[in-house]
Structure 1
Amino acid sequence: MPATKTAPPAKTAGSSQSPISSLWKAYYDNTSTRLKTIDAFLVYLMLSGIIQFLYCILVTNFPFNAFLAGFASCVGQFVLAASLRAQVNPANRKEFKEVSPERAFAEFALGSIVLHFFVYNFLG
């Protein structure tokens, strides 16, 4: 019995893009500048924490309390910034009805000050 040939699926306008490029385009088109700024800060904090961790593993961890303070600072600031992003995102408005973006930023700033006070004291 001869093999039947099927026609390749027709390409639509949206299927020519890779999923990553379509995700990036949707993010770029639908995300506000405020959220993009917070996302850039989150990426910076994540990369900074990864670099500190790799330095500790590959080079040295001699002042171990300095490594712990720096790494805890990155992790703590990441958590505070992720919380800020969740609170100022318009898609989450129904979960945070009573929290205005200004109040969310004030809480972020106060939390950052307290976090860095403890980090500074941990350094010794």
Structure 2
Amino acid sequence: MPPKHRGPSTPAAAPASAHAASHTTSSAASTPARSSTSSKQLNANTAQEIVQGVWDKYVQKTPQRVKLLDCFMAFLVAVGVLQFVYCVIAGNFPFNAFLSGFSATVGQFVLTASLRIQTNPENKAEFESTSNERAFADFIFGSLLLHFFCVNFIN
């Protein structure tokens, strides 16, 4: 924003300030080109450090049982993706079979996520009345019920 005109001394100072402003603008215009490249590199390094920090904390602080449930959940995601890709590529002639398999995968993922939340030691304050054995029994009962319905849906 240009300076306001306040009196007779301002017009004489205006050309000098205009020259200074144009010099500042041109150097500021060249600085973002260099800083944007370095900021992208800095952001990439920062993102990599954040991901590495999260992974290191996960490996050090997460109990082995929770890691096992995480691996099973990753497996269920991979199976669901493979089923969907197969359905897209090969077709979905027995559509009820695809729906049954995919819903079994999604349902098992939800049940496993519930088990993970209930058995995670960090969440013990929220699930004081639920023991690990009770949570696992609920998981098994829910899994049997889910698969019973999925098998009956196939025909």
TM-score band by shorter chain is 0.7 to 0.9
How far 1:52 sits from its partner (Å)?
A: 0.5
Equivalent in 94, 99, 111 of residue 68 of structure 1 = 99
Report % sequence identity. 49
Q: For 1:105-116, list aligned pairs within 5 A.
A: 105-116=136-147
Please name the residue that 1:96 is paired with: 127
Q: Structure 1: 5+ residue runs without aligned partners?
A: 4-14
Q: For 1:1-124, list aligned pairs within 5 A.
A: 18-124=49-155
TM-score computed with the length of structure 1 as normaliser? 0.85
Quote the Cα distance in structure 1 between the aligned partners of 2:90 and 2:59.
38
Runs (4+) off by over 4 Å: none
Amino acid at match of 1:88: T
RMSD: 2.1
For residue 106 of structure 2, give the secondary structure of its aligned residue in structure 1. Answer: helix
For residue 97 of structure 1, give the secondary structure of its aligned residue in structure 2. Answer: coil
Amino acid at match of 1:111: G
Quote the Cα distance in structure 2 between the aligned partners of 1:22 and 1:86.
22
For residue 65 of structure 2, give the secondary structure of its aligned residue in structure 1. Answer: helix
Q: Structure 2: 5+ residue runs without aligned partners?
A: 1-22, 28-45
For residue 95 of structure 1, give the secondary structure of its aligned residue in structure 2. Answer: coil
Quote the Cα distance in structure 2 between the aligned partners of 1:18 and 1:48.
31
Give aligned pairs, total. 116
Deviations 1:67-94 (A, max 9, x none): 0000000000000000000000111111
Amino acid at match of 2:98: F
Quote the Cα distance in structure 2 between the aligned partners of 1:51 and 1:20.
27
Amino acid at match of 1:75: V
Quote the Cα distance in structure 1 between the aligned partners of 2:148 and 2:54.
39
How far 1:18 sits from its partner (Å)?
A: 2.2
